[in-house]
Amino acid sequence: MKNILKLGLVLTLYAVAACVGLAFVYSGTEKIIAQRQQADLEAALKALFPGLEGYKDITGELVSPDGAVEFEGQYGILRGEALIGAAIRASGASYGGKVVILVGVGIDGKITGVKILETSDTPGLGANAASPTYYVDRARKITFYGQFTGKSVTDPFRVKEDVAAITASTITSRAITDAVRASIAAASAWLAANTGAEQGAP
């Protein structure tokens, strides 16, 4: 019995030591991970808004008009104290799982850019959505995500009509297009309410 108790005590001490060690590792890396995620977000926002001087987290203020599209983050883009746009981190179900994008919308109701942040779709097919070397318009070197830049909230956003599809990847094309459509609809409405700007003007 004494040996069993001794063994139990030793195992308990090892377990406590392991938990303490893991806690120290987690507390040390958690801050680094958070800083990296923050830096990645700021870099993505600056890519969509070259005039960005700051931004504010407005998560919770915008509601997705599409039940299949979830808004994971929302940001008001600032130049000085002036609001110049909004960005939405949106996700939806695609062929290989969840696809996550970042959509920038200016106060004129037009898309400033789209970034594909995460995709699990098939390499060489749906994954081409995020490729900077896959062109839906090779002559003009327009990528799949690049074709959304400049589109207005009044555009239809229909795959194989005003949106060129990725070859053999209609599901991916539609998933991303739906997320973009939901994002610009919500962002343009929010911007109109907060800046008084007329949305969708030519």
In the structure, what pLDDT confidence band is assigned to residue 26 with cuts at 50, 70 and 90?
A: low
Q: What is the mean pLDDT of the chain?
A: 89
143 token code pair: 């990528």
Partners of 99 in the β-ladder: 92
Which of 56, 71, 42 has its CA nearest to residue 187? Answer: 71
Which of 46, 141, 115, 135 has its CA nearest to residue 84? Answer: 46
Question: What count of residues does the chain have?
Answer: 202
**Residue 123 pLDDT exceeds 80:** yes
**Residue 164 pLDDT exceeds 70:** yes
191 φ/ψ angles, rounded to the nearest 5 degrees: -65, -40
Degrees to nearest 5, angle at CA 33 with 28 and 34: 105
pLDDT of 8 reads 62
14 φ/ψ angles, rounded to the nearest 5 degrees: -65, -40
Q: Model-level pTM? A: 0.82
pLDDT of 195 reads 86
Which of 154, 153, 134, 152 has its CA nearest to residue 144? Answer: 134
Q: Is 39 exposed, middle or buried (0-12, 13-18, 19+ CB in 10 A)?
A: exposed
What average pLDDT does range 128-156 have in this prediction?
97
